[in-house]
Structure 1
């Protein structure tokens, strides 16, 4: 099985400033409001959106519920918020750029299924690793547009 990194990203223009969007997407406790898979997240006690901070996410799909541990790897207010899941198995993040019109921003969500993550899947799933990797890839391709649309709706409603 080819374990080279897989990645996907999508972008959407949002009527919100970069600072407003950053405040929203870096509040992982609100993830359940926009994610099609992650139903809730919580910071380790007393932590928040800073590099090195840890949080737990609870994911739910039909027939399966699981939790992941993630660590913030980029926390640049008004610009970028990124985290690594597990032992750097997957990286998710948001890049925020000022839009052409005042009070707008281009929000980009990105996903990378790292070589480390895919090797973990080979160890965990054996012969079933390729379809599991394809399943996760399809979920990211479908989930990013849905997530961005939900974030847009929330950000523009405030």
Structure 2
């Protein structure tokens, strides 16, 4: 597994792992948001809004939990390219998440990327005022720590079939 800051300070992050499964099988797993609770250290459950599915424009809701705090988010799918990429934006413009699949000799290189977008930073300043930077730093740490955990869990699930 590798990790790197993809630019823009620590408000952008990505990491990769090789999964012994086809890109299509990996895509089918990560694009099934109803299974997110099986791999995410923060998101406990997700469901499609309005009987949606993994297609561009679809919305889903996630139930998140950290010690002492629970909340829900709504996200919109922005890329749904089977075997290549599945991406969504939390709140429509706040945080961008992507799973990319690339075929390699041993299976699939799965890369998860995260970016705290300018509208998300502005939202946190509006919502939390003087505590905004602390809240932003907390979410940033959670993403940096959570992505490798998520990738390892997805790898285990995909390889188990």
TM-score past 0.5 threshold = yes
Map 1:118-157 to 2 at 5 A: 118-157=121-160
SS of match in other structure, 2:50: coil
Q: Which runs of 5+ in 2 are unaligned?
A: 1-7
Offset of residue 100 of structure 1:
2.2
1:97 maps to which residue?
Answer: 102
Residue 4 of structure 1 deviates from its aligned partner by 8.1
The change in CA–CA distance for 1:4 and 1:89 in structure 2 (over 3 A counts) is: farther
What secondary structure is seen at the aligned counterpart in 1 of 2:25? helix
The 5 A counterparts of 1:70-89 are 70-89=75-94
Give the aligned CA root-mean-square deviation in angstroms: 1.4
Q: 1:51 is matched with which residue?
A: 56
Extract unaligned runs of 5+ from structure 1.
Answer: none
Q: Which has the higher contact order (CA 8 A, sep 6+)?
A: 1
Cα displacement string for residues 12-64 of structure 1 (whole angstroms, at most 9, x for unaligned residues): 00000000000000000000000000000000132100000000000011111
Alignment size in residue pairs: 154
Aligned to 2:3: none
Instruction: Give me the whole-angstrom Cα distance separating, in 2, the residues matched to 1:11 and 1:141.
Output: 12
Contact in 2 for aligned 1:15/1:155 (Cα 8 Å): yes
> Does the 8 Å CA contact 2:10/2:140 hold for their aligned counterparts?
no
TM-score by length of 1: 0.94
**Aligned counterparts of 1:87 and 1:157: Cα–Cα separation in 2:** 33
Q: Is the 8 A contact 1:85 1:91 kept in 2?
A: yes
The CA distance in 2 between the partners of 1:21 and 1:118, in whole Å, is 31
Deviating above 6 A after TM superposition, structure 1's stretches of 4 or more consecutive aligned residues are none
